[in-house]
Amino acid sequence: MVSSLKELLRWLTFIPVPLICGPIAGALLLIPILIITSSETLIDIPSKVILTSTMWVVTYWVGAFLKPKKLSMNAFRVIWIVLITLSVSRFLVQNSFYDWRYQLLEIFIPLYFFSYRGDYPDHITFLKSVSLRIKGSLGFIPNEEKLIGYFGWSLPTNFFALCLLLEVIFLTFKGYPFAFLSFIGAVALNTSINTTLYSQDPAFKQNPTSKYLMALAFLLVGIFLVRISGLNSISFLKIPLNLYILPCVLGLTYFPGNYPKDFE
C-alpha cells in the first residue's frame, strides 16, 4: 500500500516539481547577486552561467529522484526532451531582446548538463548515474578517469574560459577587432603556469631547462597578446577581473594532466 502511494506520488510530481524547484533555486541565488551588484539591467555573463547552471542541475536531479519506477527510461527521456525544448523555446520567445550570448547559454547549458542517458536496471542505479554525470559536469572527476599528473578542480578554469570566449566573440563585432587575441593570450598565460608546476612529462624531467624556457615563452606571448587585444579584463559581479592575473591564478589551481602517450 505504501509503495503504491509513493509510486502514485512520483507520477503526480515528476514533471511539475522539478520545473518548480529548478527556477526557485536559481531565484534564491539571484537575490544575493542583485544585492551585490545593485543592478537594474541584465546580469553579466558569468552570473548568467551560474544561475542557469544551478537551475538545470537542480531540475535534472529532482527529476531523476522523482522518476516513476514503472515508467520506462525511453519514455522518461522523451518526456524530458520535450519539456526542455518547450522551456527553452518559451524563454527565447519571451526574451528575444537579449543579445545572442544569453540566448546561446540558454540553449547550451541544459544540453551540457542533460543526464538522462542510457538504460538502468533500477531507480537507485539511475539516480547514482545522474549524480555522477552532474558531478563530472561540475569538474569532479573520478580518480580512475584522471590523467597522469591531474591536479586541482577544473570548474573555475572552464567557467571563466567559457565566459571569456563568449565575451571576446561578442566584443569582436563591437569595436574590439582583436579581442579574440585576449582569449589566446589567457590560454598561454594559464598554460605557462600549470604546465611548469604540475606537468610530469618525461621530456621535461630529462631537460628541466626546456620546461622553464617554454613557460617563459608562453608567459611573454600571453602578456603580449592580451596587451594588443584591447581587452584587459572581464566583469564579474561588477568586479573587473584582470586578464593578466586571472589566468595565472587559475593555473595554480588546475592542471588537466598528461596523456599516457606522453610517457611512451
In the 3-class helix/strand/coil scheme, how is the chain assigned residue by residue? CHHHHHHHHHHHHCCHHHHHHHHHHHHHHHHHHHHHHCCCCCCCHHHHHHHHHHHHHHHHHHHHHCCCCCCCHHHHHHHHHHHHHHHHHHHHHHCCCCCHHHHHHHHHHHHHHCCCCCCCCCHHHHHHHHHHHHHHHCCCCCHHHCCECCEECCHHHHHHHHHHHHHHHHHHCCCCCCCHHHHHHHHHHHHHHHHHHHCCCHHHHHCHHHHHHHHHHHHHHHHHHHHHHCCCEEEECCEEEECCCHHHHHHHHEECCECHHHHC
Report how far residue 191's alpha carbon sits from residue 135's, in angstroms, rounded to the nearest whole number: 25
Looking at the predicted structure, is the pLDDT value of residue 145 above 70?
yes
Task: Look at residue 37 in the predicted model and tell me its pLDDT.
Answer: 75
Task: Look at residue 40 in the predicted model and tell me its pLDDT.
Answer: 59
Contact 254, 151 (CB under 8 A): yes
What is the pLDDT averaged over residues 204-208?
80
Looking at the predicted structure, is the pLDDT value of residue 205 above 80?
no
Amino acid type, 187: V
Looking at the predicted structure, is the pLDDT value of residue 238 above 90?
no
Q: What is the pTM of this model?
A: 0.88
Nearest to 113 by CA among 167, 64, 175, 185: 64
Per-residue pLDDT tens over the stretch 125-142:
999 999 999 999 999 988
Looking at the predicted structure, is the pLDDT value of residue 42 above 70?
no
Looking at the predicted structure, is the pLDDT value of residue 163 above 90?
yes
Locate the domains of the chain by residue range.
Answer: 2-137, 147-263
Report how far residue 25's alpha carbon sits from residue 76's, in angstroms, rounded to the nearest whole number: 23
Report how far residue 68's alpha carbon sits from residue 215's, in angstroms, rounded to the nearest whole number: 54
Task: Give the up-direction half-sphere exposure of residue 40: CA atoms within 13 A in the CB hemisphere.
Answer: 0
Which grid coordinates are listed for 42? 541584465
Per-residue pLDDT tens over the stretch 105-120:
999 999 999 999 888 9
Task: Look at residue 222 in the predicted model and tell me its pLDDT.
Answer: 97
- Percentage of the chain surpassing pLDDT 90? 67
Report how far residue 54's alpha carbon sits from residue 42's, in angstroms, rounded to the nearest whole number: 18
Residue 241: how many CB atoms within 10 A of its CB?
18
Q: How confident is the model at residue 72 (pLDDT cuts 50, 70, 90)?
A: very high
What is the pLDDT averaged over residues 174-188?
93
Looking at the predicted structure, is the pLDDT value of residue 261 above 80?
no
Looking at the predicted structure, is the pLDDT value of residue 50 above 90?
yes
- Average per-residue pLDDT for the chain: 91
Task: Look at residue 39 in the predicted model and tell me its pLDDT.
Answer: 63
Residue 234: how many CB atoms within 10 A of its CB?
23
Contact 201, 215 (CB under 8 A): no
